Amino acid sequence: MNAQIRSRRVEEPTLHSGKFKKSDLAPERAPARDIMRGAENKGEATMADLLPRLETLKGRKRVLWRRETARGGSFGFLVDAQVTKEEGRILLRFSNGIANTGRGPMEVGGDTNRETRRGGKRSMPAYQRVYQTEGPPREVFVGRMVFDPDPDHRHWHYAGFAEYNLYDASGTRRRRSRKQAFCLEDFDRMKKRARAEYPRCRPTKMGVSPGWADTYTWDLHGQQVDITTLPSGTYRLESVANPTRRLVEQSHAGNRATVRLQIDKAAGRVTIL
């Protein structure tokens, strides 16, 4: 098929476009003061932490409201996999949604004062802001934010938010995606009355609010594994959120989701088993 592959949209705040009601937006939190810039995160949590929990979605899920369509519906996560031919390559494409089912927001921001350029690549240290039951949030170093200069992006991504693997019938990993960089935002509302703290991603503040999911649909750049040289057959597609486990979470139990599928390259077809 002649897939028109999109890149992640860059939008103005949806508050003004009428997609968001003002009541949907949580008030701005007070800026954090006296934040201790932690050393390398070892995944430690404290009692006062309001932690997120990242759950990779699988199957057809009811979405109450999707930012792209400004309405709800039933959408496929991983199970909408399809085979496409693009520029001489054969790709397995699929949608990946990562929900925050935890008590606290999944928030990440870059330190713009410490931006570096290496070989034309702009990057900066990334910190997770862990909100507390009281007082300011604490910040935990979680890796890098990278700037994507592609005209369709032109914004900062948090590097290493998800990873995709494809295993063959014998359990051998045949493909591993690059660590997927995400510009985190509240895209799919999964729970009633969940407030969107992150209607769009910003370099210093991006994230996924409790009750929301950030979804990258199958037609977006990067939502694929290359199967050009793999034979047709039965495979297991795996999507892993927080693959480096640098992000502090309540639990890593829901990070991983897999689907079994039958790929028929000649017919350009994939069947979910």
Which spans of this chain sit near Zn ion (rule: CB under 5 A)?
8, 153, 183
Cβ at position 149, least distance to Zn ion in Å: 11
Cβ at position 224, least distance to Zn ion in Å: 15
* Paired residues of 155 in beta bridges: 148
Nearest to Zn ion of 144, 265 (CB atom):
144
- Tell me if residue 112 falls in helix, strand or coil: helix
Q: Residue type at 11?
A: E
Task: Decide if 235 contacts 261 (C-beta within 8 A).
Answer: yes
Cβ at position 147, least distance to Zn ion in Å: 10
Nearest to Zn ion of 103, 153 (CB atom):
153
Q: Residue type at 243?
A: P
Cβ at position 193, least distance to Zn ion in Å: 29
- Tell me if residue 114 falls in helix, strand or coil: helix
Nearest to Zn ion of 183, 227 (CB atom):
183
Q: List Cα–Cα distances, 86 to 37, 55, 93, 151, 174, in angstroms.
A: 44, 30, 11, 20, 20
Nearest to Zn ion of 165, 223 (CB atom):
223
Cβ at position 108, least distance to Zn ion in Å: 14
**How far is Cα 230 from Cα 214, in angstroms, rounded to an integer?**
30
Nearest to 242 by CA among 154, 170, 182, 152: 182
Cβ at position 109, least distance to Zn ion in Å: 16
Cβ at position 155, least distance to Zn ion in Å: 5
**How far is Cα 221 from Cα 14, in angstroms, rounded to an integer?**
23
Give the strand pairing for 71-77 and 233-241: unpaired
Radius of gyration of the chain (CA): 19
Cβ at position 158, least distance to Zn ion in Å: 10
Nearest to Zn ion of 6, 173 (CB atom):
6
- Tell me if residue 23 falls in helix, strand or coil: helix
Nearest to Zn ion of 6, 62 (CB atom):
6
Residue-wise burial string across 37-66, b where 16 or more C-beta atoms lie within 10 A, e elsewhere: ebeebeeeeeeebebbbbbbbbeebebbbb
**How far is Cα 179 from Cα 185, in angstroms, rounded to an integer?**
18
Nearest to Zn ion of 66, 265 (CB atom):
66
User: Phi and psi at residue 23, in whole multiples of 5°?
Assistant: -70, -15
Nearest to Zn ion of 106, 183 (CB atom):
183
